[in-house]
Structure 1
């Protein structure tokens, strides 16, 4: 028998944690023996009447003495077996039998659900194979302790909840601050993403321009290559032609030199003939003044003059022939010079075309560099 209620009951206490009484009798036990036991142990809440492991009935001490206090009760029931007492033989309400693992609050709820006259009757508790009695007063005290524990726990939980709410409030404010920062970061990230997208678009556009420019470079390079090859070929051909014409000019110059030498010789001959003619003329004059003396000398002079005249005619013919050669050679030189001038002009045109193509390429490069610098300004500003 355990009579003391444990003051350290937890909020989840069961009937197994409560004091109990194991007073049991058989159905044949004389009621007077039970009365004596109640007298000796006033703390007993009642008695169990069992046969083997089967409960025949239960009667509380209160109901027992109420039955004995009735008229003729003691004379009628005390000397007889306890099974004859109406509360055992034909009970109005069966005893409340609960398992030991039943929580205290549930046991109180079931006990208070009994009829008012039986609310405070002891509760039969099955602990394994053992049957014991638990006083309803003990169960109520245990419920009070459990409720006190629960109230204390609730207060602690409430205090803890308040603390948690305070912490939650602080965390909420912190989270709001974080949310604001996160929103700011998201906005900044979005702006950076937009800037990156704009830069990506700009890079793609620049890549497209570069691809187009490369294509144009290839086309211009092909044109320049074709023009350059053609210009070089024509230049080589022109140089060869100029070389040939130069050689021709040298050849003509040599021939002119020779003709000039011949002319010089003819000129010397004419000068010599002229001197001799003058001399003969002087002699002829002298002879003429002496015409009356000797005529034979005049004939000799006349013959000499005729020879000189023939020589002058021949020299003049040679000079005229040289002049004709000069005119012919001069025409050849003029034609060679004109051909060289034409070739030079053709080379000059080719060089000008090449220079114009190079200028177009340079202008295209300058335009592309200016466009690239202009487009790079917003990107640098964003960065």
Structure 2
């Protein structure tokens, strides 16, 4: 009987998948029965000889035919039980379990003595049944496995070659990517250097701007303080000028009144002088009348008249001179009064401008305070932006 579970073989295949033979005979079976079986089944590798459930041994086709070729062997063994032939033959049967790997079975089979090298192998099934496996089938299965392994190896070699080719291409791509990455890194380093230089420059500019802002704030504060004090003093001075100008105007007004008094006095002097002249004329007329007093009186009267005339002339001259002086003094007083009025107007304009300047200084102080607050807010925003940039870089 033939048993075969042959399927696709692989390096992990077992002898259970190989073709086996189930020919078994009892030890009392005649030798000619076994000989006839061998003749009828040329592929039969041997026969298992049992006595009950015990296995006495295995007689291979090769050993059986060799023994039968000896003189008198046919008469001695064919008509006698097979156990007689088994007792004469020296056999050492190799028994393997069906889950033994094919490669392992080949190793154990080839490790047998040379005269037993081609003897069939007993395969023990899981149900404890016994079958014969021919070494030829075992070696053929191993060759198939080797062929498949070789095919797998060739496929793997081809795959490895293809993989190596792909790997070379990928390595070339990687080298190109690496070169591009190095260029990008160099470019990034250059940009970073430029950015660092720009950052350092901006930092210096920011420090300079900060210093200028500080100086500007200090100057603004100083200007505000000094300006307030200066304009306060200027306001005081302007007020003093205004008061002085008012006093000058008042003095000018007093001068005008005095000039009017002087003018009145000169008019009086002029009237007196006129009266004196009239009197001297009357005295002269009286003195020169015919039949008047003594000669001496006439002479004294004449001198008096002369003196009065001289006095009148001098008084008239003095009056004229006083009038001229008073006229000139009056013009000067008018000029002084006009200048004082203009000075008062200028002073009032200065007061108005001082007030506007004071308002401008107050506005400047307010702007300085706002500038401080904006600087504080900008510093805070810059700190926040710097922190966010550092977190992003990280």
In structure 2, the partner of 1:134 is: 133
CA displacement at 1:6 relative to structure 2: 5.6
In structure 1, the partner of 2:265 is: 266
Contact 2:4 2:20 in 1 (8 A): no
CA distance in 1, matches of 2:75, 2:6: 41
In structure 1, the partner of 2:235 is: 236
How many equivalent pairs are there? 323
TM-score, length-scaled by structure 1: 0.69
| Aligned-partner SS, 1:20 | strand
Q: What root-mean-square deviation, in Å, do the aligned CA atoms of Structure 1 and Structure 2 show?
A: 4.2
| Aligned-partner SS, 1:85 | helix
In structure 2, the partner of 1:57 is: 57
CA distance in 1, matches of 2:226, 2:270: 62
| Aligned-partner SS, 2:292 | coil
Post-superposition Cα deviations, 1:126-178, rounded to whole Å, max 9, x if no partner, equal 33223221111111222222222223333333333333333222222222222
Residues 270, 212 of structure 1: CA spacing in aligned structure 2 closer, same or farther, 3 A cutoff?
same
In structure 1, the partner of 2:36 is: 36
Contact 1:58 1:87 in 2 (8 A): no
CA distance in 1, matches of 2:229, 2:56: 134
CA displacement at 1:220 relative to structure 2: 1.3
In structure 1, the partner of 2:203 is: 204
CA distance in 2, matches of 1:244, 1:210: 48
Task: Report 1:82-161 matches (<5 A).
Answer: 82=83, 85-86=86-87, 91=91, 93=92, 95-129=93-127, 130-161=129-160
CA displacement at 1:96 relative to structure 2: 2.3
In structure 1, the partner of 2:226 is: 227
Task: Mark the runs of 5 or more structure 2 residues left unpaired by the alignment.
Answer: 365-394
The 10-residue stretch of structure 1 (222-231 or 178-187) with the greater mean CA deviation from structure 2: 178-187
| Aligned-partner SS, 1:150 | helix
CA displacement at 1:76 relative to structure 2: 5.3
In structure 2, the partner of 1:46 is: 46
TM-score, length-scaled by structure 2: 0.67
Post-superposition Cα deviations, 1:77-109, rounded to whole Å, max 9, x if no partner, equal 552352872478x64x4x222333333333222
Contact 1:50 1:56 in 2 (8 A): yes
CA displacement at 1:11 relative to structure 2: 5.3
Residues 101, 7 of structure 1: CA spacing in aligned structure 2 closer, same or farther, 3 A cutoff?
closer
Residues 102, 4 of structure 1: CA spacing in aligned structure 2 closer, same or farther, 3 A cutoff?
closer
Residues 226, 287 of structure 1: CA spacing in aligned structure 2 closer, same or farther, 3 A cutoff?
same
CA displacement at 1:4 relative to structure 2: 7.7
